[in-house]
Structure 1
């Protein structure tokens, strides 16, 4: 993309507060200790922890566009301890203690992101006001109660997940029709592009080289091939998340699924007095077709959700980032949540792809024999998760793991590949349709959708 167009990628890029001029591309063949493909959260956190542990490590990061071009710069700004894989599923791999430890580490990673941002002078608008999940019909309320009870069964108390009645929900946010809900402190609202761009500068201060507008055309043991030259490195990290399918030979590794967002104009204080969200608590309801929102530091609501189609053969294109039908639906849903917004203007609409593994189970791995490493498959829950992934990858690459991160449930595993087309296209889009139908059924009847419950059980969640 031309540099002048990067600001148009999202609200976050438009308000990042810096010029988005690309760094120089790779200028020829290069030798390094570690080569990282993808200048998003995963790649930059990996570089950060490697450089922090050993400033002499030769680290080079490349990106097809600019740092923070992808999901790291466009997401909903939830730095949360959410993980797409259930504790029960993780316990099957590494036992109950391993699953619980994983969740505790994710919880601790949320404030750690804020601490590092402050230490590095990154003004990413970090406010840890927790996260609200509201129930607007009896089926959603039943799920929320079961969700909190499940956490309690794993040893997490009210300080981690707390049930709310309708009045307590309204004390946080005036969600229309809320019957109850839950709240967790383990989430912060952030400006995602400010975080990722700040991380890029932080690693450069530690000697890491970043080459932008440098696409990897082939990746194999100890070699990254680009049009500008070949990087030879002892370790190569694939940190491409929703763009993984564009790398040769990896089309079926992660399905690129689009999540779209919209944002209001800055709202006057009298509107905020009616909505709430004083602590910038992130918010959603408990529908199956995920939605997510936050109050931005400049007084907007940034709001997103699923519903965009998966595109045949795992295609990724800027043309898929704007869908008038889905954006209009998101705006209607937001006004339905907060009717006071019925007359406000929406100033930004955007989207981006996220990486979904076949079993909805993120992974972190490093093959010492080939030098190839990977982290990703966050299914949209990647802001804090990627920070823990980068820390884990750095430990695996250095073969120095005092915190025993290699024993975590997601370490060293590989999800099976997605089905070939057209089965992949049929399957992914059928799930999206199923979740939308389940939500409509639950809204009409108030009863939980058996079809949706069967799907979650089938994938081990």
Structure 2
């Protein structure tokens, strides 16, 4: 369980599981952000729809309750002004729904900082700031008025990001969907998805439309082993920092933050005065393996702790309170997609590659429009219908991912040790092999 659920006193009381066969208009597999946003917007669009959401554990058990709490406008997709604007609008849409539905998710929209702490990172960041829409370059003195990061050489800032408490967001969204008339069955693992039907050990749900919203768990479904890579990401959170330490660090506005390393880390200042920092840890286990309960190896905790203390030496004596891990869905081209086929009644969304908190909202609104045929302009966005090629079979998949991240980490160490002002050839090769636009 993540710190986010701990902070809420654990998950809500268990909802009932499915008991016997059912029929409905729309059946949704997965009660994370994607499934719940889809259900919520469907119910708001047409309250007469019979909507059932099926979840193998509890709502928000997966990445929705374990992520770093970034409500950002980032999406790994070729630059498209319409998609970028849709993501920007989605940040505000989530905040608007939180206000309307009374979801207390510790949301603070203060933007995002990307900080360079080595000469090579600075070179990459300055080039990024020239071309990236909505990002502004900050010199070290201006950055220090926001947050004091050890060794910072430059930063980029965008206002299009908010900090959230992810478990509070998904728990509140589940309650909002239920108030809108959605039926949510927990402890109901799905064993098969076919045209117009979803099979479980407790019964079959027949529906005119079926939506797969399983993100990092998609690889566990029949026929989907190579669709999206279940990539592991890990997070640690400190005990609350003393006021004296915060006075040294600053960070009063609680912007989200990351460095500009190849194997980057991501951070937030929590509502109760802690620092949460995450990174890839052991990014991929052989043959789509992952620990569903989120155990984090000691080596990953040590690595993340080291990153935190290098960035904020003032916090070096603050203990780590909690560590956890989760899986996210990564397509081979790192580009998310959303689709619905009116002929078969089947839809899906995901492959967010770590940017799912906001993207899932856009996916939910898009799917709701596609399913109801409401003619939403979101249906014309370039990610609609996008299906990337499959990942390579094992052992090529495991070897490739391990080599890619080993190359990135080696590049980061080399750039730091030698004070290089440019990316290494090895990192550029890893970019090429990964297939990711960086």
TM over 0.5: yes
Look up the match of 1:335.
309
Among 97, 114, 132, the alignment partner of 2:113 is 132
Aligned residues: 434
CA RMSD of aligned residues (A): 1.3
What is the TM-score of this pair, normalised by structure 1? 0.92
The answer (yes or no) to whether the contact 1:72–1:193 under 8 Å persists in 2 is yes
Look up the match of 1:184.
158
The answer (yes or no) to whether the contact 1:23–1:211 under 8 Å persists in 2 is yes
- Is 1:73 the counterpart of 2:73? The answer is no
Structure 2: gaps (5+ residues): none
Q: 2:108 and 2:293 mapped to 1: Cα distance? A: 33
Q: 2:323 and 2:369 mapped to 1: Cα distance? A: 38
Task: Spell out the pairing of 1:160-199 with structure 2 (5 A cutoff).
Answer: 160-199=134-173
Look up the match of 1:248.
222
Task: Spell out the pairing of 1:387-402 with structure 2 (5 A cutoff).
Answer: 387-402=361-376
Q: 1:44 and 1:30 mapped to 2: Cα distance? A: 19
- Is 1:44 the counterpart of 2:36? The answer is yes
Ranges of 4+ aligned residues in structure 1 off by more than 4 Å: none
The answer (yes or no) to whether the contact 1:37–1:240 under 8 Å persists in 2 is yes
Look up the match of 2:423.
448
Q: 1:149 and 1:436 mapped to 2: Cα distance? A: 26
Note closer, same or farther for the CA distance 1:17–1:113 as it changes in structure 2 (3 Å cut): farther
Q: 1:348 and 1:85 mapped to 2: Cα distance? A: 33
What is the TM-score of this pair, normalised by structure 2? 0.97
Look up the match of 1:422.
395
Look up the match of 2:345.
371
- Is 1:325 the counterpart of 2:299? The answer is yes
Among 7, 10, 29, the alignment partner of 1:15 is 7
Q: Which moved more, 1:320-329 or 1:221-230?
A: 320-329
Q: 1:288 and 1:183 mapped to 2: Cα distance? A: 19
Look up the match of 2:407.
434
Q: Which moved more, 1:107-116 or 1:331-340?
A: 107-116
The answer (yes or no) to whether the contact 1:260–1:321 under 8 Å persists in 2 is no
Displacement of 1:428 in angstroms is 1.4
Q: 1:86 and 1:125 mapped to 2: Cα distance? A: 31
Query: What's the CA shift string for 1:379-435, capped at 9, x where partnerless?
Result: 111101110011001111111123x21211110111111111111111111111111
The answer (yes or no) to whether the contact 2:294–2:324 under 8 Å persists in 1 is no
Q: 2:53 and 2:324 mapped to 1: Cα distance? A: 26
The answer (yes or no) to whether the contact 1:289–1:307 under 8 Å persists in 2 is no
The answer (yes or no) to whether the contact 1:38–1:62 under 8 Å persists in 2 is yes
Look up the match of 1:212.
186
Note closer, same or farther for the CA distance 1:100–1:456 as it changes in structure 2 (3 Å cut): farther
Aligned partner of residue 191 in structure 2, secondary structure: strand
Task: Spell out the pairing of 1:26-425 with structure 2 (5 A cutoff).
Answer: 26-87=18-79, 99-151=80-132, 156=133, 160-318=134-292, 321-402=295-376, 404-425=377-398
Displacement of 1:318 in angstroms is 3.3
Q: 2:340 and 2:289 mapped to 1: Cα distance? A: 27
Aligned partner of residue 102 in structure 1, secondary structure: helix
